[in-house]
Amino acid sequence: MKKALLCICLILFISFVCTGYSLGKDIVRIGLITPLTGDVKTFGESTKNAFNIALEEYAKTGKYKIEPIVADDRNDPTEGANAALKLITQDKVVAIIGPLTSKVAIPVSEIANSNKVPMISGTATNPKVTISDGKRKPYAFRACYIDPFQGTVGANFALKELKSKTAAVLYDVGNDYSKGLAEYFKATFTKGGGNIVAYESYQKDDVDFSAIITKVGMKKPEVIYIPDYYNKVALIARQLREKGLKGIMIGGDGWDSPELLKIAGNAIVGGYFTNHYSPDRKDPVADAFIKKYKEKFGVVPDALGALGYDSTVMLLKVLDSVKKPTQEEIMKALSTMKNFKGVTGNISFDKNGDAIKSAVILKVDKDGFKYMTTINP
């Protein structure tokens, strides 16, 4: 009896302490959907690190107490959709950061939009993330440019800077991101007078590319465009070089991972890719973030980290600016936001919820990525 009484007292005391603690600030829940395992796990790790830095900074000055809920999507659309449903229906988050890859972000944006939960993806570049069938999904935003721009930049770089006339494209037929970029690259490259000599697809789980590489090798392309994530790119790059193909490899922001060089080794050295930002960029906001990230995690943040940070800070800033932290208010404030000063540059959303941003081109060197040039939209 005494014991039970003691227990009850203890529970009362604990609950009193807990509620007392949170009385100061209202609790707001934010979800993060990101691939922490699977084929693009470094994307998720960078984003999660940056997300945590942004939350820590906010905790000192912010209006609310943020309760983050992190979900792993494994870069799988089904997992991502399940995670989004759980975050929305069970955890009742007011907003979602992520997902990072277009193939997961497209289904998640549908769910977020129909449940009226604002979502900001840092790096999902496929147009369909914010638009479906020509209609804007008002609750979906992204902190990056979209693939028609990225593909164009890649193709123009191949035409003008590398002075190439023939190109081959290898893409993953089941991945919206890869497929989209391949199409935009092809369109711009042919329009600019270049010739696409091979346009070959493969599937998600493929590891043997010998057949299509041998086929592409017959055409001797000067440039090989591989718009996919780093793991697949590394595998393809090695097989390309082993089969004796000499063309210069070009890719998109999916290349941005320290793992790329580790897996592909010398095969990928000399390649170029379009990206969202370069750590070499001189800017006080960027410098402060890069310094903090480096202190905490020992590496220079990649674009995934930088954009993860930007989208989180953007959301938290909007959260403080609205009267009540409801989904609708946040959505409205986000769509009217102008000139947010982020690590990756000034961010304003256009009418589709896409950020208007410039692209940078990085070169793959023996010991990392080297900044080449910036291209404005």
Using CB under 8 A, list all residues that contact another protein. 37-39, 41, 74, 173, 200-203, 205-208, 210-212, 214-215, 218, 231, 234-235, 238-239, 242-244, 259, 262-263
Between residues 6 and 173, which has the closer beta carbon with respect to another protein? 173
Work out the burial of residue 46: count CB atoms within 10 Å of its CB; fewer than 13 is exposed, 13-18 middle, 19 or more buried.
buried
Residue 99, preceding bond cis, omega within 30 degrees?
yes
Smallest gap from residue 200 Cβ to another protein (A): 7
Smallest gap from residue 293 Cβ to another protein (A): 22
Question: Is residue 277 within 8 Å of residue 306, measured between CB atoms?
Answer: yes
- Side by side, the strands of the sheet bearing 27-34 are 65-72, 27-34, 95-97, 119-121, 140-142
Smallest gap from residue 236 Cβ to another protein (A): 11
Smallest gap from residue 282 Cβ to another protein (A): 34
Smallest gap from residue 226 Cβ to another protein (A): 14
Between residues 153 and 233, which has the closer beta carbon with respect to another protein? 233
Between residues 39 and 110, which has the closer beta carbon with respect to another protein? 39
- What the block records as the tokens of 219 is 């055409």
Question: Is residue 104 within 8 Å of residue 76, measured between CB atoms?
Answer: yes
Find the DSSP H helices in the chain: 2-22, 41-61, 77-89, 102-114, 147-156, 176-191, 210-219, 230-242, 258-264, 284-297, 303-321, 327-336
Measuring CA to CA, which residue among 197, 203, 202 is closest to residue 222?
A: 197
Smallest gap from residue 332 Cβ to another protein (A): 39
Between residues 112 and 264, which has the closer beta carbon with respect to another protein? 264
Smallest gap from residue 139 Cβ to another protein (A): 30
Distance of alpha carbon 54 from the chain centroid: 16
Between residues 83 and 316, which has the closer beta carbon with respect to another protein? 83
Give the helix, strand, coil percentages of the chain, each rounded to 5: 50, 20, 30
Between residues 12 and 211, which has the closer beta carbon with respect to another protein? 211
Whole-angstrom distance, CA of residue 3 vs CA of residue 288: 54
Between residues 73 and 354, which has the closer beta carbon with respect to another protein? 73
Question: Is residue 221 within 8 Å of residue 168, measured between CB atoms?
Answer: yes
Smallest gap from residue 252 Cβ to another protein (A): 19
According to DSSP, residue 157 is labeled I
Between residues 72 and 222, which has the closer beta carbon with respect to another protein? 72
Paired sense of beta strands 166-172 and 223-225, if any: parallel
